[in-house]
Amino acid sequence: MIKKKCKICGKEFEVLPYRKDTAKYCSFKCYWKSLKGKSVSPKTGFKKGQVGYWNGKKRPNMVGKKNGLWKGGPKKVHCRVCGKEVLRYPSELKNGRIIFCSCKCKAKYYLAGKKPWNYRGISSENERIRHGIEYNLWREAVFARDNYTCQKCDQSGGKLRAHHMFNFSTYLDLRFAIDNGITLCKKCHKEFHKIYGSRNNTKEQLIEFLCSKKVLEM
């Protein structure tokens, strides 16, 4: 360690050898004292009290105010719940975004049954069924029957998928038939749909897919 003397308070302080030429002050307090009375900071180049200026010139993308607001600075808008006036930037007002003054007002708005600003509309029938209780019960029943094991690669546990032998969207009567389901791991399920597509799948395609494993093993 090398000992140096502070230029402001005269206190001795220790620095590492690589800082012997750059270290001038013992603390940040002394550093800020050294800037007192200077119009431009030697470190940042900002004029005192004016964030929007640099080296005495106005920044092209800033508004020359003390708070350094961006061009097209904040606008005064009202909270959707309590009507309180708040400041928001143009980027926050795009796409019909709903404005709130606090998380409390936001919670009140959505708990009242209102829809979010980015709500896309009613979900399709297939999506509602796939997230329903009946579908989840069918899925668990298929996994339990196959002992939570992939019927293609014999992987036990992990990320499993309940695959419909006959297509889900086409064969409406077989959607929740346990005999129409089979357990595949995530990788094998993805591989099946990569080969045969995701529409008009049949039991024959699945048998062909499962038999390819046995042929390779032989």
> Do residue 202 and residue 167 come from a single domain?
yes
> Do residue 203 and residue 141 come from a single domain?
yes
**What's the domain range around 91?**
75-111
Crossing angle of the two packed helices 186-196 and 203-217, in degrees rounded to 10? 120
Question: Range with the lowest mean pLDDT among 13-17, 49-53, 124-128?
Answer: 49-53
> Do residue 96 and residue 138 come from a single domain?
no
Q: Within a domain: residue 62?
A: no
> Do residue 155 and residue 104 come from a single domain?
no
* pLDDT tens digits, one per residue of 132-142: 888 899 999 99
Band the pLDDT of 48: cuts 50, 70, 90.
very low
Q: What are phi and psi of 160, to 5 degrees?
A: -110, 155
Q: Within a domain: residue 118?
A: no
* pLDDT tens digits, one per residue of 59-103: 444 444 444 444 556 788 888 888 888 888 777 777 777 888 888
The pLDDT of 123-148, averaged and rounded, is: 84
The pLDDT of 171-190, averaged and rounded, is: 89
> Do residue 105 and residue 143 come from a single domain?
no
Q: Within a domain: residue 121?
A: no
Q: Within a domain: residue 148?
A: yes
> Do residue 140 and residue 107 come from a single domain?
no
Distance CA 74, CA 85 (A): 12
The pTM of this model reads 0.44
Question: What is the predicted pLDDT for the residue at 182?
Answer: 92
Distance CA 168, CA 76 (A): 51
Alpha-helical runs (H) found in the chain: 28-34, 103-111, 125-130, 133-145, 186-196, 203-217
Closest by CA position to 74, among listed 51, 93, 96, 97: 93
Q: Within a domain: residue 5?
A: yes
Band the pLDDT of 124: cuts 50, 70, 90.
low
Q: Within a domain: residue 105?
A: yes
> Do residue 142 and residue 205 come from a single domain?
yes
Q: Within a domain: residue 82?
A: yes
> Do residue 147 and residue 106 come from a single domain?
no
Band the pLDDT of 145: cuts 50, 70, 90.
very high
Residue 105 · residue 79 · CB < 8 Å:
yes
The pLDDT of 18-37, averaged and rounded, is: 82
> Do residue 80 and residue 139 come from a single domain?
no
| Triad 212, 216, 218: Cα angle to 5° | 120
Of 43-52, 83-92, 157-166, the range with the highest mean pLDDT is 157-166
62: alpha, beta or left, given left = phi > 0 and alpha = psi -120 to 50?
Answer: beta
Position 50 pLDDT exceeds 50: no
Q: Within a domain: residue 47?
A: no
Task: Give how many domains the chain has, as a whole number.
Answer: 3
> Do residue 106 and residue 171 come from a single domain?
no
Position 169 pLDDT exceeds 70: yes
